[in-house]
Amino acid sequence: MFRDVVLGLGNNPVVENVIKRYGMQMGASRFVAGHTLPEAIEEVRAINRQGIKATLDHLGESVTTERAAAEARDSYLAMLEAIQQSGIDSNVSLKLTMLGLSFDADLAERHLLEIVEKAAHTNNFVRIDMENSPYTAQTLTLFEKAYAEFPGAVGVVLQAYLYRSMDDLRRLSSPPRNFRIVKGAYMEPVSVAFPSKADVDENYLRLVETSLELGNYTAVATHDEQMIGRVLKYVHEHGVARDRFEFQMLYGVRFSLLQSLAQQGYRTRVYVPYGEDWYGYYVRRIAERPQNLLFFLKTLVER
């Protein structure tokens, strides 16, 4: 409910103006690792020193011109080059609407293949983030096309709030692939997504367990201690090797929990976004937690 209200308000131009104007000083900077790639690389270096890997995300989504899509592609090619040159331990995450998916799926496919090819040649990996449900089927199709050409260099995300995700997981797990499982961050109608948190949580665990059972490499992306505890119980009871899964969290959220998992010898990774186009990302983070909105409003009033 809170989530839907915030995500709905995020589409209001007045709210957007206020948040874009004051957001960086009032909370967004906590979730964003800098404006530029060099800044983000230094953040990743510090994270790596704690034994934690990263995935770099150049913020941006829903571009509407070929030029912006080509710029996004170039930024990812440069990012993969910079990761190799700097020696940091990081792969990359991207959104297909940043590569033009909303207006030209063929263009997005060409850009994606170029990026995944570069990742394969630099011994790296591209995670395709999952956006809102109008893009789910197309995202999975483009993932399969990229996987057919560069199987070790690409993975995708499945969202536990979608009814379809279990079917997608089963359909796409032969041969085993590399999935990140998340609860889901967008506003979705009840026709496609579980409305209740309890159902999403239950489906989340079923997806993680099924993904592991089917032999997939599984990224358990959540800050939910209860989910993490139950996944740990499952992997211990089923003797799942530690190199078959990893825990992932977002930059700026519950880092101490991730540190503690890293100290216990589990693979861990932080999702590190950077860049100027932080608005949509920040609104989704506010929507996940009432305290994040209170922090924003308190700082706004105190100005």
Ligand X SMILES: Cc1cc2nc3c(=O)[nH]c(=O)nc-3n(C[C@H](O)[C@H](O)[C@H](O)COP(=O)(O)OP(=O)(O)OC[C@H]3O[C@@H](n4cnc5c(N)ncnc54)[C@H](O)[C@@H]3O)c2cc1C
Known catalytic residues are 129, 180
| Whether the Cβ atoms of residue 61 and residue 95 lie closer than 8 Å to each other | yes
The residue from 76, 186, 266, 274 that contacts ligand X (CB under 6 A) is 186
We find the least distance from the C-beta atom of residue 248 to ligand X, in angstroms, to be 4
Q: Does 289 bind ligand X (CB under 6 A)?
A: yes
Site for ligand X in 216-255 (CB under 6 A): 221-224, 248-250, 253-254
Identify which range of 11-19, 73-81, 177-185, 258-266 contacts ligand X by CB under 6 A.
177-185
Q: At what angle do helices 197-213 and 165-172 cross, to 10 degrees?
A: 10
DSSP-derived letter for residue 193 is B
Q: Which one, 100 or 280, has the nearer CB to ligand X? A: 280
We find the least distance from the C-beta atom of residue 187 to ligand X, in angstroms, to be 11
Name the H helices within the chain.
Answer: 2-9, 13-22, 29-31, 37-48, 66-86, 105-121, 136-149, 165-172, 197-213, 225-237, 255-263, 279-288, 290-302
The 10 Å Cβ neighbour count of residue 161 is: 23
How many Å apart are CA 216 and CA 180, to the nearest integer? Answer: 10
The 10 Å Cβ neighbour count of residue 302 is: 7
We find the least distance from the C-beta atom of residue 239 to ligand X, in angstroms, to be 25
The residue from 47, 83, 288, 296 that contacts ligand X (CB under 6 A) is 288
Q: Which one, 85 or 204, has the nearer CB to ligand X? A: 204
| Whether the Cβ atoms of residue 108 and residue 143 lie closer than 8 Å to each other | no
We find the least distance from the C-beta atom of residue 118 to ligand X, in angstroms, to be 21
We find the least distance from the C-beta atom of residue 253 to ligand X, in angstroms, to be 5
Q: Does 292 bind ligand X (CB under 6 A)?
A: yes
The residue from 184, 273, 275, 280 that contacts ligand X (CB under 6 A) is 184
Q: Which one, 150 or 281, has the nearer CB to ligand X? A: 281
Give residues with Cβ within 8 angstroms of 218, minimum separation 6.
Answer: 178, 179, 180, 181, 208, 211, 212, 244, 245, 246
The residue from 101, 153, 182, 220 that contacts ligand X (CB under 6 A) is 182
Q: Does 296 bind ligand X (CB under 6 A)?
A: no
Q: Does 271 bind ligand X (CB under 6 A)?
A: yes
Closest alpha carbon to 109 in 83, 82, 142? 142
Site for ligand X in 51-80 (CB under 6 A): none
Contacting residues toward ligand X, per CB under 6 A:
129-130, 157, 159, 182-186, 221-224, 248-250, 253-254, 271, 285, 288-289, 292
